[in-house]
Amino acid sequence: MLYRVIDASELPSLVSAFMESYEVVAPVKRDRSYVFEAVESYHDIELGYDTTVSSPKKYFLPPTETLFPFDARAEEVASFAAEITPRVIFGAHACDINALNRLDLVFRDGRYPDPYYVARRAATLVVGVSCMPTDTCFCHLWGADEARFGYDLFLQDIGGKYLVSISSVEAANILEAACSPRVATDEDRIEFRHATRRRQEAFNGDIPDIQDVAMLMDAFHKDPYWEELGGRCLACTACSAVCPTCFCFDIQDTLDPDGRTGVRERTWDSCTSPQFAQVAGGHNFRADGRNRVRHRMYHKLNGFLANHDRMLCVGCGRCVTACKANINPIEVLEFFERKGACDAE
């Protein structure tokens, strides 16, 4: 990894340089929240944002996308390539970069890479920025508070300057042309250490740190707790919509009025939707809230870990805010903390 230092005053030049060849997507303020949107100028960007309503996931896996058109008369699928916009995601937090790394495992690095996702990922530069945790952040519990890969540049704020971690030639060339990057001094490294420590000490200490949560979930699979938690679920699917790692989708064919031509589309789906596990013939193998919510939490904190050696939750806290029934991983951690307290009595 190559490290350089730039002044904060050089960021507008960096963004302008990106804009010459890319669409730049960055955090902007919308009412009382922040969202990722395409921006026209550096001055639209709120780099000191706390968290965004949803993550940049939609730029890699759009909520709805056409996979291909078809013509039943020709009995063949027309060749089709999705339009890919060269893009820079500017200002992603470490948790969102770690979420993207998990999506890579599913859509890019598996046996059957998804060509739509792979094309978007390859055409996108990711520029990360350091952050301070909110009360609902728990990324540190799963080691997602630092991004070690999956980005092109990462900007660590060290007080009026940024220590820039560089991991792609393309981004390095743009940085070099737009700014005056210099070699990090010992003072810069010490300030980096202080900034890291300030972040680590700012996490909400009331969130239980239960590292063996995956094993506990197996042990308490039949606990009545899941009935209680599932009974509260409104099946609104907001948790999946805001989650940077949820990747389930549905595929539907939409026919034109002629009944022969149409398009095959992919749309985000959610395991908390009552129809998610309904199959032909009407059987629903997760017909109640208990099974749906338990499945969601297991996939986040247990199942994905078994297959990919990391949680599918990056602790971004978005579902903590989005779920009006207070169903989220923190709630599950608190349940196991209570269980531990009871067992110890």
Contact positions vs ligand SF4 (CB under 6 A): 233-239, 242-245, 272, 293, 300, 313-319, 322-323, 325, 327-329
Min. distance of Cβ 95 from ligand SF4 in angstroms? 7
**CB burial of residue 335 (10 Å; 0-12, 13-18, 19+):** buried
Min. distance of Cβ 270 from ligand SF4 in angstroms? 7
Contact 8, 48 (CB under 8 A): no
Min. distance of Cβ 203 from ligand SF4 in angstroms? 13
Q: How many residues does the chain have?
A: 345
Comparing CB distances to ligand SF4, the nearer of 131 and 243 is 243
- DSSP bridge partners of 198: none
Comparing CB distances to ligand SF4, the nearer of 158 and 216 is 216
Distances, alpha carbon 280 to alpha carbons 264, 286, 289, 314, 315, in Å? 19, 14, 20, 34, 35
Min. distance of Cβ 132 from ligand SF4 in angstroms? 17
Q: Are strands 87-92 and 76-77 parallel, antiparallel or unpaired?
A: unpaired
Write out the DSSP string of 255-289: E-TTSSEEEEEEEE--TTSTTTTB-TTS-BTT-SH
Comparing CB distances to ligand SF4, the nearer of 266 and 300 is 300
Contact 196, 140 (CB under 8 A): no
Structure tokens at 131: 């952050």
Comparing CB distances to ligand SF4, the nearer of 24 and 51 is 51
CA–CA distance, 298 with 141 (Å, rounded to integer) = 17
Comparing CB distances to ligand SF4, the nearer of 68 and 285 is 285
Min. distance of Cβ 221 from ligand SF4 in angstroms? 18
Min. distance of Cβ 5 from ligand SF4 in angstroms? 31
Comparing CB distances to ligand SF4, the nearer of 101 and 237 is 237
Min. distance of Cβ 156 from ligand SF4 in angstroms? 22
**CB burial of residue 265 (10 Å; 0-12, 13-18, 19+):** middle
**Closest among 52, 42, 63 to 95, alpha carbons compared:** 52
Comparing CB distances to ligand SF4, the nearer of 127 and 316 is 316
Write out the DSSP string of 30-90: ETTEEEEEE-SSGGG--TT-S--SS-GGGGTS-SEEEEEEEETTTTEEPP-------EEEE
Comparing CB distances to ligand SF4, the nearer of 96 and 191 is 96
**Closest among 67, 32, 35, 71 to 51, alpha carbons compared:** 35
Min. distance of Cβ 275 from ligand SF4 in angstroms? 13
